[in-house]
Amino acid sequence: MTRVVLMEDYLDHARTLDCVKELAERCELRIFTDKAKSEAELASRLAGAQIAITIRDRVMFTESVLSRLPDLKLLSVCGPRLDPHVDLPAATRAGILVCRPQALDVPQVIHRATAELVWALILGLARHTVQNDAHMRSGGWQSRIGFGLAGKTLGVIGLGRVGSPVAQMGVAMDMKVLAWSPRLTQERASLWGAQAVSLQELLRQSHVVSLHANATAQSRSMIGREEFAMMRSDALFINTARAAIVDEQALREALDAGTIAGAGLDVFWGEPPPVDHWTRTHEKVLLQPHMGGFTHEGYEWLLQPAVRNVLAYLDGKPTDIMNPELLPNVSRVTAP
């Protein structure tokens, strides 16, 4: 029977999906719910597997890893991107087909879910929700006073598919909304009730700064010491985009020094972060475990196409292949 490994389903939610149940009926399916601690452990988990399914960019399939997997014939990727987690040329040299959904339009429900999480972080920080909950559970009563958002200023860095609903929700909260993107026009900003300003002006004026920039070589560490120094001392900083856009040490220093008042993070510089990572214990940080789009609807949207690609391969009809030059050499794999 064909052995299939689904990598790092941290939520242990995949098995609830109908497509995964169908796959489990046709093959020997193993699901891992934690992160391999080393390349050797990763190779051990995949030993003997003909097919691997990887959720987004949680596992790095480098040339070194792929060279240790002689039985692997198909790597099915969730989501629309291969970079930086799959070395496609190395996979091709190893004779491993790589497939990913090529016509995968991210639905609005994913963007809205991330925007909703942004606001969970903003509200949680503004009203000290976690600290007040913990204080009550320990027998206490009122301990910390927060601040209201109406009349305050929200700064949105990146007015795209997530940033625009975040801005829209800010307007609904009766906030003044400022926005900056490299090519943002006032006309487009106005569509979402925002005012287009420079990044420097946004940082100086905003009580809440929410980051939604794309992760590129140019945007790496674009928010650093200089940028945090421009912000208000009572400002909250929210990042649900990518950790690499923010200088980690600069953020820690800004929180420690009181340069900013707090941070809400859904993304980290290594995921999951080590158990002793400073963000896990910092009283000014509110954490989420990279859950932006991971509602039930979002999980199904992400995983179902990758599983369907595996089922198509088992039927001898590979789809969404990224290295089609290998197809003439592919023998059909069947699973009872």
- Sequence-distant (6+) residues with CB within 8 A of 246 are 211, 221, 222, 223, 224, 239
Long-range contacts of 120-123 (CB under 8 A, 24+ apart): 120/288, 121/238, 121/240, 121/264, 121/265, 121/266, 121/286, 121/288, 122/149, 122/208, 122/210, 122/236, 122/238, 122/264, 123/149
Q: Is 25 a catalytic residue?
A: no
Residue with tokens 């949105």: 156
Among 28, 271, 297, 300, the active-site one is 271
Residue with tokens 């400002």: 235
Which structure tokens are listed for 91?
């996979």
What is the four-CA torsion angle of 101, 104, 109, 115, rounded to 10 degrees?
Answer: 90
Say whether 56 is catalytic. no
Name the residue type at position 235.
A
Helix orientation angle between 108-126 and 129-137, rounded to the nearest 10 degrees: 60
> For this structure, is 271 an active site residue?
yes
258's torsion region: left (phi>0), alpha (psi -120 to 50) or beta?
left
Cα maximum dimension of the chain: 70
Candidates 100, 128, 207, 290; catalytic one: 290
Read off the tokens for 14: 């995949």
Q: How far is CA 46 from CA 83, 227, 318, in A?
A: 21, 43, 21
By CB atoms closer than 10 A (0-12, 13-18, 19+), residue 316 is: exposed
- Among 56, 111, 242, 308, the active-site one is 242
Which residue numbers are catalytic?
242, 271, 290
